[in-house]
Amino acid sequence: MLLAPGCSDGQLAQSAVDAPCPAGDLDCEAAPTTAPIAAGALLALEIRPVIVGGVSAAVSLRSGDDAVLVVEDGLVRAVAPGVAAVLAVGDDGAVVDLTHLSVIKADRLTLHRGGGAERDERALPTAIQVFPNEELSLSLRTWSGAQELAGDVLDRWTVSDPAFLLVDQGFPAERRLRVPAAGTATLTIDAVGLQQTLSLEVVQ
């Protein structure tokens, strides 16, 4: 079995491809997905070889087109838009199974309250009011048109006023923001060549 988001079941019927649950989502059950990967994102792969009518065999993963994606230490790095196969290769060099991954360039980012199972599906506007000493849990989503894209993007979060404290909890595309007793600030997130901002005003 080959587990990965952003693709379909193995086309030689020797493996299945599922989407692992988001980090921190303890109530999630993995399910198949056909979501494309954002160009520039990283995607974790898990291999569970299942040979129909025989015994399991150890396999490794290879990319069918390094110009679109590369496989390094169990991670797929989406390089550029396109479609490429991920090959499950046995010790003898034979292709045991394959699946195709689609890579798309993101054209927008959205910011949401909460993360994992607690994420609010509604995107935040570009400006919000917050209470003194409030603590916000925020998460970033990547899109191409109406399609949400898979993969962990390399993101950079900054805030204009250091009194607004950003805390990295170790989950991809998520941060916690601790609000001071008073003030205004702009939160800026840069990812996959795009930028999203959120203006914050503390109200008494």
pLDDT recorded at residue 22 = 52
Query: For 131-142, what is each residue's pLDDT tens digit?
Result: 999 999 999 999
Residue 2 has pLDDT above 90, yes or no: no
User: Among candidates 16, 15, 9, 19, which has minimal Cα distance to 43?
Assistant: 19
Burial class (CB in 10 A: 0-12, 13-18, 19+), 88: buried
The percentage of the chain sitting over the pLDDT mark of 70, rounded to a whole number, equals 77
Q: Do 129 and 186 reside in the same domain of the chain? A: yes
Residue 60 pLDDT > 90: no
The answer to whether 39 and 78 have CB atoms below 8 angstroms apart is yes
CATH number at 147 reads: 2.60.40.10
Residue where a domain terminates, one of 104, 137, 164: 104
Q: How far apart are CA 141 and CA 151, in angstroms?
A: 10
What is the span of the domain harbouring residue 136? Answer: 108-202
Residue with tokens 């494309």: 36
Q: What is the DSSP letter of 146?
A: T
Over the stretch 15-46, which tens digit does the pLDDT of each residue have?
544 445 555 554 444 433 468 999 999 988 76
pLDDT above 50 for 179: yes
Least confident range of 10-14, 64-68, 199-203:
10-14
CATH number of the domain encompassing residue 52:
2.60.40
Strand partners, 90: 59
Q: How confident is the model at residue 120 (pLDDT cuts 50, 70, 90)?
A: very high
The whole-angstrom distance between residue 170's C-alpha and the CA centroid of its chain comes to 13
Res 6 pLDDT > 60: no
- Which parts of the chain fold into alpha helices (H)? none
Q: How many domains does the chain have?
A: 2
Q: Please give the full DSSP string across 53-110, using - where no structure is assigned.
A: TS----EEEEES-TTTEEEETTEEEE-SSEEEEEEEEETTS-EEEEEEEEEE---EEE
Query: For position 21, what pLDDT does the model report?
Result: 54
Mean pLDDT in residue range 167-178: 93
Kindly state the average pLDDT of the residues 136-159: 95
